C-alpha cells in the first residue's frame, strides 16, 4: 500500500506547475513514495525539529537498528539550493552512517552546491525539478496523462 495518493501523482504529472505550490509535507510524501516504490522501507520525519533530515530510507531486509541507506532533505522552493544545505546533509550522512544523501528540490542546485559535492566527494545526489518530472511520469497510472496509448499519430 502506498503512502501517497495515486490520484495526486497523476494530477501532478499533468499539472507540473503545482509542484511549487504543494504543501511541504506533501512534497516530502512524494519523495518518500518514490523511494518506497524503489523497494526501500521509508520513514518521514516529524517535520519540525527533524534536524534537516526529512525522509530516511532503509533496505527492507535490514534490521531495525541498521543505519539508513539514504537520508533526504526536501526543499520545495523556487530558489536554488545552496552549498550550506549539501554540507549539512553530508555531515548528517556521515554521522548516521548512511550510504548516501539526497537533496530533492522543486528547483535545482546552485553551481556552488554542485561544486562543493563534486570537489569534496560527498555522497549526495541531486533530485531537481527535471528529476521530479521524470519520477511523476514513471509513477503515474498507466494510460493516464497527455499521451494515451494509441493516441500518437501513426507514421505513414
Number of Cβ within a 10 Å radius of residue 104 = 27
Q: For the segment 42-91, what is each residue's pLDDT rounded down to a tens digit?
A: 999 876 655 679 999 999 998 888 999 999 999 999 999 999 999 999 99
Give the pLDDT confidence score for residue 154 in this predicted structure. Answer: 41
Question: What's the chain's average pLDDT?
Answer: 86
- In this prediction the pTM is 0.84
Q: How sure is the predictor about 150, in pLDDT bands with cuts at 50, 70 and 90?
A: very low
Domains and CATH numbers, the chain: 6-139 (3.40.1350.10)
Q: In the predicted model, is pLDDT for residue 101 greater than 90?
A: yes
Q: In the predicted model, is pLDDT for residue 140 greater than 90?
A: no
Q: How far is CA 154 from the centre of its chain?
A: 36
Give the pLDDT confidence score for residue 71 in this predicted structure. Answer: 97
Residues with Cβ within 8 Å of 135's Cβ and at least 6 positions away in sequence, in order, are: 30, 34, 127
Give the pLDDT confidence score for residue 99 in this predicted structure. Answer: 95
72, 48 in Cβ contact below 8 A? no
Give the pLDDT confidence score for residue 143 in this predicted structure. Answer: 57
Nearest Cα to 51, choosing from 90, 89, 1, 78?
Answer: 89
Residues with Cβ within 8 Å of 38's Cβ and at least 6 positions away in sequence, in order, are: none
Q: How sure is the predictor about 7, in pLDDT bands with cuts at 50, 70 and 90?
A: confident
Residues with Cβ within 8 Å of 73's Cβ and at least 6 positions away in sequence, in order, are: 52, 53, 54, 85, 88, 89, 101, 102, 103, 104
Give the pLDDT confidence score for residue 125 in this predicted structure. Answer: 96
Give the pLDDT confidence score for residue 48 in this predicted structure. Answer: 65
Percent of the chain with pLDDT over 90: 62
- For cell 497527455, name the residue: 146
Amino acid at each position: 500500500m502506498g503512502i501517497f495518493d495515486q490520484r495526486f501523482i497523476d494530477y501532478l504529472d499533468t499539472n507540473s506547475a503545482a509542484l511549487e505550490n504543494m504543501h511541504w509535507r506533501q512534497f516530502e510524501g512524494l519523495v518518500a513514495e518514490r523511494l518506497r516504490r524503489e523497494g526501500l522501507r521509508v520513514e518521514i520525519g516529524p517535520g519540525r525539529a527533524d534536524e534537516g533530515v526529512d525522509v530516511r530510507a532503509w533496505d527492507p531486509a535490514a534490521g531495525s537498528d541498521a543505519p539508513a541507506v539514504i537520508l533526504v532533505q526536501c526543499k520545495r522552493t523556487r530558489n536554488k539550493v545552496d552549498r550550506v544545505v549539501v554540507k549539512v546533509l553530508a555531515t548528517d550522512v556521515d554521522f548516521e552512517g548512511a550510504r548516501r544523501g539526497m537533496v530533492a528540490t522543486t528547483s535545482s542546485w546552485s553551481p556552488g552546491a554542485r561544486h562543493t559535492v563534486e570537489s569534496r566527494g560527498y555522497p549526495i545526489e541531486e533530485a531537481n525539478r527535471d528529476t521530479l518530472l521524470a519520477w511523476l511520469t514513471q509513477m503515474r497510472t498507466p494510460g493516464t496523462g497527455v499521451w494515451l496509448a494509441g493516441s500518437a499519430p501513426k507514421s505513414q
